[in-house]
Structure 1
Amino acid sequence: MSERVGLMHPVMAGVVAGLVGFTSSFAIVLTGLRAVGADDAQAASGLFVLCLTMGAGCVLFSWRTRMPITMAWSTPGAALLATAAVPHGGFPAAVGAFILCGVLLALCGLVRPLGELVERIPAPLASAMLAGVLLPLVVAPIRAAVVDPWAIAPVITTWLVLLAVARRWAVLGALAAALVVMAVRGVFGELDLAAAAPTLTFVSPTLDAGALIAIAIPLFIVTMTSQNIPGIAVLGAFGYRPGMRNPLLYTGSASVAGAFAGGHAINLAAISAALAAGPEAHPDKDKRWIAGVSCGGTYLLFGPLAGLVSAVAVAAPKGIVESIAGLALIATFAASAHSALADDRAREAGAITLVVAASGITIASIGSAFWGLVAGLVLHLVLTKAPSRTSKSA
């Protein structure tokens, strides 16, 4: 009996990891997919296939390796999409970019020098690019509150209160407050339940050079630097060494397959990984793999709800979904901005990367995230090659 009770701890830890992972960022995924041209059915399909692929990955790897290996959709990647423009070829061109991103992720597992090349991108610049991408999103709740304060203020207030007393549940509480606001406004009575049925909508991809550069490359970089590499580091901190090869092969291949149904990318979990891999899941590290399995099972259960979630998001008051997404990203933005500007030697390069990435400019049909990284790398190279002040004064 005591053993059964003991096993409930990792099971519940995995459920919490899956619940927090889904509810804290599904709004970001839907916002990102729609920003690059997905219609309501395609966005719901993308959310559905992401739940299936990352849920299956959690179960498969945790079961086979006896380690709590959890996977997630690329939240920074979805945030990047949310600030991107619809490519010239529409959503099919975006899907083509998702496929290239998946191929690059898989190649990082097969070709170690490629992964090492990504790791050589200065960490402050990668963080600055992400911070610049996130900046327009984290100001969305403020803008929405000015337009419709009666809808947005309860969401922000709930988030603030829970941030102080129960930080892990702050975003979930904000979501609950949004649902109350929608219920008061009669949103649920207007839902098209026929459109909420779980379905996969397949998209025939097209290859557009602008989309491949503006979407695939930044998506690949933020997924590797903000998710996969930290995800391995989190597992290592708790004594697990699964290696990069097999997880990257799976997440890359699954991202390619999922792209045809509208999914952008999956990766190793980073932030939520600690919920399943830490001692809170189970005092015995050899039993925490159960948390990885239950996390995957939770994602698989959420998959069929993707259509309903998307339908509710469509019917929600204007700005409320974007506000939830923005609140969910504030902690990530703060951490990225700190990493971008903390190192004196890379501060100027990080600042220019952040500013250009946040500018929203488009040059040659290529968005600001890519140009921000280019500008930061150029300035970084100039400053590192320039003679130091000490040598000048000498």
Structure 2
Amino acid sequence: MSISSPDPASASLTPAIAAGLLSAFVGFASSFAVILQGLIAVGASQAQAASGLMALSIAMGLCAIILSLKTRMPISIAWSTPGGALLAASAGQEIAGGFAGAVGAFLICGALLTLAGLWKPLGRAVAAIPPALANAMLAGILLGLCLAPVKAVAALPVAGLSIVIVWALVAKFKRLYAMPAAVLVTLGFIIAGGEISAASLGSLWPQPVLVMPAFSASALLGIALPLFIVTMASQNIPGIAVLQANDYRPDPAPLFRATGIFSLLGAPFGGHAVNLAAITAAICAGPEAHPDRDKRWIAAVVAGIGYIIFGLLATAATAVFSAAPPVLIQAVAGLALLGAFANALVMALSEAQSREAAAITFIVAASGLTLFGIGGAFWGLIAGGAILALTRWKRGT
């Protein structure tokens, strides 16, 4: 009697479960410091920041589960890490209404994301923004945070150097684990500092905080529109590309629409935006998740469950990291964004014809400029767009 080789379709689900758990852990641990830093920068209290982190985690978990079950594809969802960096770059910028004004901007962004899935011309309009300018704006937003590790080394040499060295060593062998390792080292220094107490942790049970939104033109132009653009250009569109690279062909419109709806649901509780994942999507959509591509959706469902669990721990996570010196949290956030910054800068300056316009977009976005209550990200895109239009007009193209 011959023994046949196992059918890939009947292979164990263990790889899919493991890939989903890894995706959730990496997705949360690698960038939650960016989200906390961003929410606090636009006026959130510790309780409101914890609520926002919880709302985002649960929203992206539920969205991933629903979309993956419906499509039977590994649809991975993440929070908008570039969006969190945009918020962090807004530190010091006057926002009408404080955090309530920021929540109003989050709602507008969610509405725009939903509209992009309902009205195709809007999605095409975002895709029509010259990639060089979109990447230059993103690089300008990220620059300030990417300088934070250097500042941390200057301010707290032992802790700062330890975090950077561990991150670099782990990245040399397995880049996927570099940020979780840096987070664990940071956690060790926080605990060693003795700043955490039972009182500071408070209740470990999640405490959602409902924020009544306020709306203003400055928040619309300074937060909502740049947040929508970076979320679409740096997350949703690359997320579709990752799925296509793994031979999945979903209709983008329903996916954009779903992320917009869940962004709207999370916004009143402090969540800025959820979107299609790009980096963690590769974990769930690749062959390592399961030899049978028709079973990889299970990995995305498991990742969604993992995000919900992490969301329920958001209050404790926020309390622990709020006990740390702000420069250390900024350093961890900066390390998490180095790859995105480098990629955005390379893409921004890769074409000679748009290089000058991209450079101007980058400089203005990174400058911290605020005019009429509107931050540098918006003005960078306007300035770069004007230079690019002038360049093309002079060339007659």
What secondary structure is seen at the aligned counterpart in 2 of 1:6? coil
Are positions 1:79 and 2:88 aligned together? no
1:197 CA drift (Å): 3.1
Distance 1:258 1:155 in 2: 32
List alignment gaps of at least 5 residues for structure 2. 1-5
Match of 1:10 in 2: 16
In the alignment, is the contact (CA less than 8 A) between 1:35 and 1:86 conserved in 2? no
Deviates more, 1:177-186 or 1:16-25: 177-186
What secondary structure is seen at the aligned counterpart in 2 of 1:267? strand
Distance 1:5 1:244 in 2: 30
| Residue correspondence of structure 1 range 35-74 to structure 2 within 5 A | 35-74=41-80
1:352 CA drift (Å): 0.5
What secondary structure is seen at the aligned counterpart in 2 of 1:136? helix
Distance 1:201 1:174 in 2: 29
Distance 1:14 1:387 in 2: 51
What secondary structure is seen at the aligned counterpart in 2 of 1:88? coil
| Residue correspondence of structure 1 range 90-109 to structure 2 within 5 A | 90-109=98-117
Match of 1:319 in 2: 327
Match of 1:366 in 2: 374
* One-letter amino acid of the counterpart of residue 130, structure 2: P
Report the TM-score, using the length of structure 2 for normalisation: 0.95
Residue of 262, 273, 276 corresponding to 2:284:
276
What secondary structure is seen at the aligned counterpart in 1 of 2:322? helix
Match of 1:348 in 2: 356
* One-letter amino acid of the counterpart of residue 7, structure 1: L
| Residue correspondence of structure 1 range 240-259 to structure 2 within 5 A | 240-259=248-267
1:251 CA drift (Å): 0.9
Match of 2:222 in 1: 214
Residues 5 and 244 of structure 1, relative CA distance in 2, 3 Å threshold: closer
Match of 2:238 in 1: 230
Match of 2:28 in 1: 22
In the alignment, is the contact (CA less than 8 A) between 2:190 and 2:321 conserved in 1? no
Distance 2:174 2:152 in 1: 25
1:5 CA drift (Å): 6.4
1:41 CA drift (Å): 0.5
Match of 1:382 in 2: 390
Match of 1:167 in 2: 175
Distance 1:134 1:195 in 2: 33
Match of 2:3 in 1: none
In angstroms, what is the RMSD of aligned CA positions?
Answer: 1.4
In the alignment, is the contact (CA less than 8 A) between 2:201 and 2:320 conserved in 1? no
In the alignment, is the contact (CA less than 8 A) between 1:198 and 1:307 conserved in 2? yes
In the alignment, is the contact (CA less than 8 A) between 1:151 and 1:317 conserved in 2? no
What secondary structure is seen at the aligned counterpart in 1 of 2:78? strand
In the alignment, is the contact (CA less than 8 A) between 1:232 and 1:244 conserved in 2? yes
| Residue correspondence of structure 1 range 129-140 to structure 2 within 5 A | 129-140=137-148
In the alignment, is the contact (CA less than 8 A) between 2:136 and 2:361 conserved in 1? yes
In the alignment, is the contact (CA less than 8 A) between 2:39 and 2:49 conserved in 1? yes
1:191 CA drift (Å): 5.3
Aligned length: 388
1:105 CA drift (Å): 0.4
Deviates more, 1:258-267 or 1:279-288: 279-288
* One-letter amino acid of the counterpart of residue 365, structure 2: A
Distance 1:300 1:387 in 2: 53
Deviations, residues 7-52 of structure 1 (Å, cap 9, x unaligned):
1001110111111000000000000011111111000000001011
Distance 2:45 2:197 in 1: 22
Q: Tell me the percent identity.
A: 48
1:189 CA drift (Å): 3.6
What secondary structure is seen at the aligned counterpart in 2 of 1:188? coil
* One-letter amino acid of the counterpart of residue 246, structure 2: F
List alignment gaps of at least 5 residues for structure 1. none
Match of 1:187 in 2: 195
* One-letter amino acid of the counterpart of residue 264, structure 2: V
Residues 180 and 362 of structure 1, relative CA distance in 2, 3 Å threshold: same
Distance 2:158 2:53 in 1: 29
Distance 1:120 1:171 in 2: 33
Deviations, residues 134-159 of structure 1 (Å, cap 9, x unaligned):
00000011112101112211111100
Are positions 1:309 and 2:317 aligned together? yes
In the alignment, is the contact (CA less than 8 A) between 1:191 and 1:312 conserved in 2? no
Distance 1:203 1:152 in 2: 35
In the alignment, is the contact (CA less than 8 A) between 2:360 and 2:384 conserved in 1? yes
* One-letter amino acid of the counterpart of residue 360, structure 1: G
Distance 1:47 1:16 in 2: 19
Residues 159 and 15 of structure 1, relative CA distance in 2, 3 Å threshold: same
Distance 1:289 1:30 in 2: 29
1:214 CA drift (Å): 0.3
Distance 2:326 2:261 in 1: 36
